[in-house]
Amino acid sequence: MIVLSDALMKLEVEPFLRDALREDIGRGGDITSDLLISDKQISGAYIRSRVPGVVAGMEVAKRTFHMIDNSIDIDIKVSDGEQVRAGDDLMYVHGNTKVILAAERVSLNVLGYMSGIATATYDMMSLIRHTAAKVSCTRKIFPMGRLLAKYAVRVGGGGNHRFGLDNMILIKDNHLEAVGGVLQAFEKLENLRGHVFKVAMEVNSLEQVSELVRHAKGRCHHIMLDNMSVYDMREAVKKVCECSIVTEATGGIHKDSIVEVAETGVDYISIGKLTHSAPVMDVGLDFCVN
């Protein structure tokens, strides 16, 4: 599982947050707060959930405030992975009022985005807990947000497909078109790939599955069943069961079809909507009334 360690926060998350804060604060700073609020004013505020869901990104939200002022006092009330109700307190923030307002929107945007993904993943996993299948995300993620999105999927109980093009040899339909077919692809890989790389192949028909089984001979570790019918998925799982090949269903799977897909016996179900279309969880920041 991805762990957002302090080292990963500094190397990966902080640069992302720095750019996000720079984008929001702009060249002239928070001109409204600069005009209305004293530099020395101190306030307390609660970040609250407006809707029920699964929380993800609490440490990232905290780090957003500390990117501007490390002296801001923050009390995290819930942990990533916890289910919350509408109105629940997620975090208490205390410190310089202008700093709180400057970091507010980026902190809430990241927390809402990550929690929305975690919630969507949890909801999908809840539908198939009676099976051995596991929900997985894809690379269909807005650029530069991949680490946080994939972390949120894990928080919601799902799994991660590859992080990038260098994580796995994944032969897709366009690769097969380019090299001439399944056999040709395996022949080209035979003496070129490093032993540490797993090989996966995307197929969209039972004919391709049969061809893969004929030529796999220990060469293929993972098969992706792309946009296949439930019947064909079930047959494909039967065909590869003796080859010890991991099976993954992909392509247009949603909450109304995921149960049938999981019951075919596939190991994983990859869903792009988890990261490119999950509704953002509504969270807000409310100042305390003195």
DSSP β-bridge partners for residue 53 = 84
**Catalytic one of 77, 139, 162, 172:** 172
The number of C-alpha atoms within 13 Å of 33 and in the hemisphere containing its C-beta is 17
Q: Using CA atoms, how far apart are residues 261 and 135, in angstroms rounded to an integer?
A: 11
63 is catalytic: no
Residue owning tokens 């994939």: 150
Q: How far is CA 178 from the centre of its chain?
A: 30
Give 61's DSSP letter. H
**Catalytic one of 80, 88, 202, 267:** 202
**Catalytic one of 30, 80, 104, 226:** 226
Q: Using CA atoms, how far apart are residues 97 and 10, in angstroms rounded to an integer?
A: 25
**Catalytic one of 59, 82, 105, 239:** 105
DSSP β-bridge partners for residue 202 = 224
DSSP β-bridge partners for residue 47 = 91, 285
140 is catalytic: yes
Angle of CA points 6, 280, 225, to nearest 5°: 85
105 is catalytic: yes
Encoding tokens for residue 6? 């302090």
Q: Using CA atoms, how far apart are residues 103 and 3, in angstroms rounded to an integer?
A: 24
Strands 73-76 and 89-96: antiparallel
**Catalytic one of 77, 140, 239, 273:** 140
List residues with catalytic annotation.
105, 140, 172, 202, 226
